[in-house]
Amino acid sequence: MARRTGRRPGRPDTRAAILAAARAAFAERGFDAASIRTIATAAAVDPALVHHYFGTKEELFRATVAIPIDPAELLPAVLAAGPDGVGERLVRTFLTIWDSPVGTAGLALLRSAVNNEWTARLLREFLVTQVLRRVVEHLDVDPAERALRGALVASQLAGLIMTRYVIRIDPIATADPEHLVTAIGPTVQRYLTGDLTG
Amino acid sequence: MARRTGRRPGRPDTRAAILAAARAAFAERGFDAASIRTIATAAAVDPALVHHYFGTKEELFRATVAIPIDPAELLPAVLAAGPDGVGERLVRTFLTIWDSPVGTAGLALLRSAVNNEWTARLLREFLVTQVLRRVVEHLDVDPAERALRGALVASQLAGLIMTRYVIRIDPIATADPEHLVTAIGPTVQRYLTGDLTG
């Protein structure tokens, strides 16, 4: 038996039970309403064990969708430089992630979400609460418009994934990332800070 | 046995053999290079029979992807009024189709394409040769930019489908179509006729 190092992974069936309960709770109630306490109860374990194995509620959520990046770490650098050019910076960061091996995990999640309503709900909750909310929360715009602005950004970036990695329409499928940043950055910029009323 | 009216559908196995051969040819060689003659040879039937059952090469192609609309009929009305406002008209027409029962067929195709490389190739060929090429061919822009402009339009519209019908991110999932036309029309307009070099 191989010697293990680092944090002990816990009993596999306990971890799996917690993950299954968390997946159900996040998909059914949404990220905000789901609680570590009710997830622990559903998995028949102590809440402290959930924290011990998975950390915070955000970290547990990321484990349920098997997304190996943390938007809470990545996004501040994109947003910190202020509203000027935030569209281009967001597209650039997005392509750097999706062109890396992380993109393979993302594609697996997307494929699953397209065919499974349960996974689609988890992906929606992840995008809305972990990504889009963080992107729009500090914008100097009408708060009532924030959800629409976030959803519009999601629509352009989801379509970029579809055309670059899934349907593979040239030249987007093979373009240099900076070429796409130039073409698509202004769209994301307008969705975040521009006039949407025509 | 129910009485049939209208055009006789032909022997089911012959039709199925032609469709299978056509699907393989369009996915493998692409729409332009595939020919009725080689499809007929692969299906072991006379080319005249392919035309008899399915009509033109375009019609045969639409049958292989089970898309019940004809871009060659729909797009001229969108494009005829000239470049001003073509972005909004395209988004409006697109949403009218996708909000109708035709959208269900489209979603089935998209789900299949996401999980099956063969269907993804057919969908790509359909989008590029039947839709995007028609949208960009009469634009008063550098011909070398046409493929990129078409692909960018596809990226925004594919993402609109993903956020409105698949992942269902609000408010895009529930928005009034005209609200989306106002928000997304200018993006499509810029991709078709605007400056893409930043």
pLDDT recorded at residue B98: 93
Same domain membership, residue B53 and residue B150: no
Which chain A residues are within 8 Å of B154, Cβ to Cβ? 159, 163, 167, 169, 172
Comparing CB atoms, the residue among A160, A175, A196 nearest residue B183 is: A196
pLDDT recorded at residue B69: 86
**B1 located within any domain:** no
Report yes or no: B22 and B91 within 8 Å, Cβ to Cβ.
Answer: no
Q: Is A147 close to B171, i.e. CB distance below 8 A?
A: yes
pLDDT per residue as tens digits for the range A86-117: 999 999 999 999 999 888 888 888 888 888 88
pLDDT recorded at residue A55: 95
> Which of A107, A167, A195 has the highest number of chain B CBs within 10 A, making it the mutation to test binding with B?
A167
Q: Return the CATH number at B95.
A: 1.10.357.10
Q: Is A196 close to B190, i.e. CB distance below 8 A?
A: no
Same domain membership, residue B132 and residue B89: yes
User: Block means of pLDDT (10 residues each) for chain B, length 198 residues?
Assistant: 50 88 90 94 96 94 87 89 92 94 88 88 92 90 94 97 95 97 97 90
Parts of chain A with a pLDDT under 70: 1-10, 198
Q: Does A104 touch chain B (CB under 8 A)?
A: no
Domain boundary (B29, B46, B65) is at: B65
Which chain B residues are within 8 Å of A148, Cβ to Cβ? 171-172, 175, 183
**B18 located within any domain:** yes
**Cβ contacts of residue A165 below 8 Å, gap of 6+?**
A98, A103, A107, A173
Same domain membership, residue B172 and residue B136: yes
Comparing CB atoms, the residue among B114, B150, B157 nearest residue A111 is: B114
pLDDT recorded at residue A2: 46
Distance CA A48, CA B191 (A): 52
Which chain A residues are within 8 Å of B158, Cβ to Cβ? 158-159, 162-163, 167
Same domain membership, residue B83 and residue B146: yes
Distance CA A158, CA A128 (A): 13
Q: Is A158 close to B172, i.e. CB distance below 8 A?
A: no
Number of domains in chain A: 2
Same domain membership, residue B88 and residue B152: yes
Same domain membership, residue A156 and residue A117: yes
Q: Does B84 touch chain A (CB under 8 A)?
A: no
pTM passes above 0.95: no
Q: What are phi and psi of B22, to 5 degrees?
A: -65, -45
Q: What range does the domain containing A138 cover?
A: 71-193
Distance CA A114, CA A161 (A): 13
**A98 located within any domain:** yes
Comparing CB atoms, the residue among B114, B148, B155 nearest residue A159 is: B155
**B2 located within any domain:** no
**B167 located within any domain:** yes
Distance CA B128, CA B138 (A): 15
Same domain membership, residue B167 and residue B138: yes
Report helix, strand and coil shares of chain A as percent, to nearest 5. 70, 0, 30
Same domain membership, residue A29 and residue A116: no
Same domain membership, residue B127 and residue B87: yes
pLDDT recorded at residue A98: 93
CA distance A16 to chain B (A): 25
Domain boundary (A27, A49, A64) is at: A64
**A158 located within any domain:** yes
pLDDT recorded at residue B1: 43
pLDDT recorded at residue A22: 93
Same domain membership, residue A103 and residue A141: yes
Q: Return the CATH number at A37.
A: 1.10.10.60
ipTM, two decimals, is 0.87
Same domain membership, residue A114 and residue A54: no
Same domain membership, residue A97 and residue A39: no
Q: Is B148 close to A183, i.e. CB distance below 8 A?
A: yes
